[in-house]
Chain A
Amino acid sequence: MRSSRHSVIALSAAAVLIAALLVPCAALAGGRNLAYVSSEKDGIVTFIDLASWKPVFRLAVAKRPRALALSPDRRRLYVACGDGNSIDVIDPDRRTIVARLRGVDDPEMFALTPDGGALWLSNEETATASALDLASGRIIASVAVGDEPEGVLVSPDGATVYVASEVANMVHVIDAKTHVLRRSVLVGNRPRRMALTPDGRELWVTNELGANVSIVDPLRGVVSGELRFAPQGFRVEDVTPVGIVMTPDGRTAYVTLGRANHVAKVDVAARRVLGYALTGSRAWGAALTADGRRLLVANGLSDDVAVVDLQSFRVERAVPAGRTPHSIVVDDR
Chain B
Amino acid sequence: MTGARRLLALVLLACAYPAQAATLAIDMLEDSGDARYEAHRLDEALRLQPWGRPAAGAEVAVQESRFAAAALGLSLTLDRDSASGAAALEAALRRRYAQGVRFFIVDARAAPLAVLAQRVRDLDLLLFNVSALDDALRGPQCQPNLLHVVPSQAMLDDALGQYLASRKWRRVLVLRGPQAADRAQADSFARSARRYGIETVATRDFVPGRDPRQRERNDVALLTAGPDYDAVYVADSDGEFARDVPGMTQRPRVVVGSAGIVADGWHWAWERHGAPQLNARLRKAAGRRPTQYDWSAWMAVKAVVEAAQRTGGADFAKMRSYLRGESITLDGFKGFRMGFRPWDGQLRQPVLVTGDNAVLAVAPFDGFLDPRNALDTLGIDARESACRRGDGK
B-contacting residues of A (Cβ < 8 Å)?
124-125, 145-148, 165-170, 172, 184, 186, 188-190, 209-211, 235-237, 240, 259
B interface, size bucket: 20 to 34
Query: Do A237 and B280 contact each other (CB < 8 Å), given the known contacts A145-B67, A210-B329?
Result: no
Instruction: Name 15 A/B residue pairs within 8 A (Cβ), A-sorted.
Output: A124-B277, A146-B68, A147-B281, A165-B67, A170-B68, A184-B67, A184-B71, A189-B331, A209-B329, A209-B331, A209-B337, A210-B329, A235-B374, A237-B337, A237-B373
Asked if residues B67 and A125 are in contact (CB atoms below 8 Å), the reply is no
Nearest residue (CB) in A for B332 is A209
In the A-B complex, the 7 residue pairs with the smallest Cβ-Cβ separation, listed nearest first, are A146-B67, A168-B67, A189-B329, A147-B64, A209-B331, A237-B336, A167-B64
A-contact bits for B131-144, CB 8 A (1 contact / 0 none): 00000000000000
Asked if residues A168 and B64 are in contact (CB atoms below 8 Å), the reply is yes
What distance in Å separates the Cβ of A84 from its nearest Cβ neighbour in chain B? 16
Q: How far is the CA of A209 from the CA of B273 in the complex (A)?
A: 10
Q: Does B274 contact A (CB under 8 A)?
A: yes
Query: Do A189 and B71 contact each other (CB < 8 Å), given the known contacts A169-B309, A235-B373?
Result: no
Asked if residues B373 and A166 are in contact (CB atoms below 8 Å), the reply is no
Nearest residue (CB) in A for B348 is A237
Which of A147, A186, A235 interacts with B71 by CB under 8 Å? A186
What distance in Å separates the Cβ of B118 from its nearest Cβ neighbour in chain A? 34
Asked if residues B64 and A190 are in contact (CB atoms below 8 Å), the reply is no
What distance in Å separates the Cβ of A125 from its nearest Cβ neighbour in chain B? 7
- Return chain A residues, CB-CB under 8 Å to B331: 166-167, 189-190, 209
- Return chain A residues, CB-CB under 8 Å to B68: 146, 168-170, 186
A-contact bits for B309-344, CB 8 A (1 contact / 0 none): 100000000000000000001110001110000000
- Return chain B residues, CB-CB under 8 Å to A124: 277
Q: How far is the CA of A237 from the CA of B67 in the complex (A)?
A: 26
Most buried by A among B67, B274, B281: B67
Nearest residue (CB) in A for B310 is A186
- Return chain B residues, CB-CB under 8 Å to A211: 337
- Return chain A residues, CB-CB under 8 Å to B280: 125
A-contact bits for B271-286, CB 8 A (1 contact / 0 none): 0001001001100000
A-contact bits for B96-132, CB 8 A (1 contact / 0 none): 0000000000000000000000000000000000000
Asked if residues B67 and A170 are in contact (CB atoms below 8 Å), the reply is yes
Q: How far is the CA of A210 from the CA of B327 in the complex (A)?
A: 10
Nearest residue (CB) in B for A185 is B71
Asked if residues B336 and A170 are in contact (CB atoms below 8 Å), the reply is no
Q: Does B375 contact A (CB under 8 A)?
A: yes
Most buried by A among B66, B306, B330: B66
Known: A169-B309, A240-B335. 10 other contacts (CB 8 A): A125-B280, A167-B64, A168-B65, A168-B67, A184-B70, A186-B309, A188-B329, A209-B329, A209-B331, A236-B337
Asked if residues A125 and B329 are in contact (CB atoms below 8 Å), the reply is no
A-contact bits for B369-388, CB 8 A (1 contact / 0 none): 00001110000000000000
Nearest residue (CB) in B for A181 is B67
- Return chain B residues, CB-CB under 8 Å to A209: 329, 331, 337
Q: How far is the CA of A232 from the CA of B277 in the complex (A)?
A: 33
Asked if residues B274 and A166 are in contact (CB atoms below 8 Å), the reply is yes
Q: How far is the CA of A168 from the CA of B331 in the complex (A)?
A: 11
Nearest residue (CB) in A for B69 is A168
Q: How far is the CA of A93 from the CA of B113 in the complex (A)?
A: 67
- Return chain B residues, CB-CB under 8 Å to A188: 329
Q: How far is the CA of A17 from the CA of B374 in the complex (A)?
A: 59
Q: How far is the CA of A5 from the CA of B218 in the complex (A)?
A: 85
What distance in Å separates the Cβ of B296 from its nearest Cβ neighbour in chain A? 17
Interface residues of B in 64-105 (CB under 8 A from A): 64-68, 70-71
Q: How far is the CA of A170 from the CA of B375 in the complex (A)?
A: 27
Q: How far is the CA of A165 from the CA of B67 in the complex (A)?
A: 10
Asked if residues A170 and B71 are in contact (CB atoms below 8 Å), the reply is yes
Most buried by B among A124, A167, A184: A167
Q: How far is the CA of A211 from the CA of B66 in the complex (A)?
A: 25
Q: How far is the CA of A248 from the CA of B86 in the complex (A)?
A: 64
Nearest residue (CB) in A for B68 is A168
Most buried by B among A125, A172, A188, A189: A189
Nearest residue (CB) in A for B61 is A167
Q: How far is the CA of A186 from the CA of B375 in the complex (A)?
A: 27
Most buried by B among A125, A209, A235, A236: A209
What distance in Å separates the Cβ of B23 from its nearest Cβ neighbour in chain A? 20
Nearest residue (CB) in B for A170 is B67
A-contact bits for B295-313, CB 8 A (1 contact / 0 none): 0000000000010010000
Nearest residue (CB) in A for B302 is A167
What distance in Å separates the Cβ of B331 from its nearest Cβ neighbour in chain A? 5
Most buried by B among A124, A147, A184: A147
- Return chain A residues, CB-CB under 8 Å to B67: 145-146, 165, 168, 170, 172, 184
Nearest residue (CB) in B for A124 is B277
Q: How far is the CA of A121 from the CA of B391 in the complex (A)?
A: 49
What distance in Å separates the Cβ of A165 from its nearest Cβ neighbour in chain B? 7
- Return chain B residues, CB-CB under 8 Å to A189: 329-331, 337
What distance in Å separates the Cβ of B309 from its nearest Cβ neighbour in chain A? 6
What distance in Å separates the Cβ of B73 from its nearest Cβ neighbour in chain A? 13
Most buried by A among B63, B329, B375: B329
Q: How far is the CA of A210 from the CA of B65 in the complex (A)?
A: 18
- Return chain B residues, CB-CB under 8 Å to A147: 63-64, 277, 281
Q: How far is the CA of A74 from the CA of B68 in the complex (A)?
A: 39
- Return chain B residues, CB-CB under 8 Å to A148: 274, 277
Q: How far is the CA of A144 from the CA of B280 in the complex (A)?
A: 19
Q: How far is the CA of A212 from the CA of B373 in the complex (A)?
A: 18
What distance in Å separates the Cβ of A324 from its nearest Cβ neighbour in chain B? 12
What distance in Å separates the Cβ of A184 from its nearest Cβ neighbour in chain B? 6
Q: How far is the CA of A167 from the CA of B64 in the complex (A)?
A: 7
What distance in Å separates the Cβ of A183 from its nearest Cβ neighbour in chain B? 9
- Return chain B residues, CB-CB under 8 Å to A190: 331
Nearest residue (CB) in A for B281 is A147
- Return chain A residues, CB-CB under 8 Å to B63: 147
- Return chain A residues, CB-CB under 8 Å to B335: 240, 259
Q: How far is the CA of A162 from the CA of B191 in the complex (A)?
A: 51
Q: How far is the CA of A235 from the CA of B64 in the complex (A)?
A: 29
- Return chain A residues, CB-CB under 8 Å to B337: 189, 209-211, 236-237
Nearest residue (CB) in A for B364 is A237
What distance in Å separates the Cβ of A24 from its nearest Cβ neighbour in chain B? 42
- Return chain A residues, CB-CB under 8 Å to B329: 188-189, 209-210
Q: How far is the CA of A190 from the CA of B374 in the complex (A)?
A: 21
Q: How far is the CA of A210 from the CA of B274 in the complex (A)?
A: 16
